[in-house]
């Protein structure tokens, strides 16, 4: 099975080698490593690893948390093979069927961002759901935000339980907002927000003059 780990570690020589050695000793095969940030003496890296399915994934986390100065911020199942480009499939589908651009974006977002569900809504305080992915709740509890740029969200624990994080991004000038929500994994990192924003921008670029699909051209903020 493929898993992704987000790890915070000291930003000094030898730290990365300790982490990869611990992963290998535990039985994981490191397939990819991405540096998310380096700041104030620490680094945040994401590792995609192959892990034997019969072993509890908790052992993978424990192998790192024994290292001095190392913290595991999240561990979750990875949806795609490293090196694949699932965004290109999304853009191809948008180009083939631009009238369903928003629906295509919403349906694809959970897989692209390791989330459980996504919805596109219109308006602000009195929201209406334009499209939802198949695992989305029937009446999702969403914050009253209409972001000008992608932003990270932490949901009300009384409504959703602990550890529920999301991201919100505007969809062009059509008064639509895309929400992506994960219950398995860490908060959305700024690199993920930038990726989400670029994806939306490119989808709108593919649409060109049809950036606001016909069904949404009359949408107004409420």
| Residue 215 pLDDT greater than 60, yes or no | no
Q: What's the chain's length in residues?
A: 222
Integer Cα distance of 107 and 142 in angstroms? 18
Structural domains in the chain, sorted by start: 2-77 (3.30.70.260), 86-216 (3.30.450.40)
pLDDT at 18: 95
**pLDDT tier at 216, thresholds 50, 70, 90:** very low
* Of 129, 126, 73, 82, the residue nearest 106 (C-alpha): 129
Decide if 15 contacts 62 (C-beta within 8 A).
Answer: no
Predicted confidence (pLDDT) per residue in 190-204, tens digit: 989 999 999 999 888
Average pLDDT estimate for 13-28: 93
In this structure, what are the phi and psi dihedrals at residue 84, rounded to the nearest 5 degrees?
-80, 165
**pLDDT tier at 149, thresholds 50, 70, 90:** very high
Average pLDDT estimate for 71-83: 78
- The model's pTM: 0.74
């Amino acid at each position: 099975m493929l898993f992704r780990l987000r790890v915070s570690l000291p930003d000094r020589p030898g730290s990365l080698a300790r982490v990869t050695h611990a992963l290998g000793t535990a039985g994981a095969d490191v397939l990819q490593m991405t540096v998310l940030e380096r700041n104030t003496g620490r680094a945040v890296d994401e590792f995609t690893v192959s892990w034997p399915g019969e072993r509890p994934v908790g052992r993978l986390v424990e192998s790192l948390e024994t290292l001095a100065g190392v913290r595991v911020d999240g561990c979750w199942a990875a949806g795609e093979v490293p090196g694949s480009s699932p965004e290109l499939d999304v853009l191809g589908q948008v180009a083939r069927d631009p009238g369903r651009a928003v629906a295509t974006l919403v349906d694809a977002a959970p897989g692209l961002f390791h989330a459980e569900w996504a919805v596109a809504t219109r308006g602000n305080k009195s929201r209406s759901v334009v499209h939802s992915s198949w695992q989305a709740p029937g009446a999702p509890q969403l914050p009253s935000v209409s972001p000008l740029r992608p932003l990270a969200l932490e949901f009300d624990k009384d409504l959703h339980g602990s550890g529920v994080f999301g991201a919100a991004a505007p969809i062009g000038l059509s008064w639509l907002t895309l929400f992506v929500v994960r219950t398995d994994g860490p908060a959305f990192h700024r690199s993920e927000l930038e990726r989400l924003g670029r994806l939306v921008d490119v989808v709108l670029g593919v649409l060109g003059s049809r950036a606001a699909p016909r069904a949404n051209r009359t949408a107004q903020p409420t």
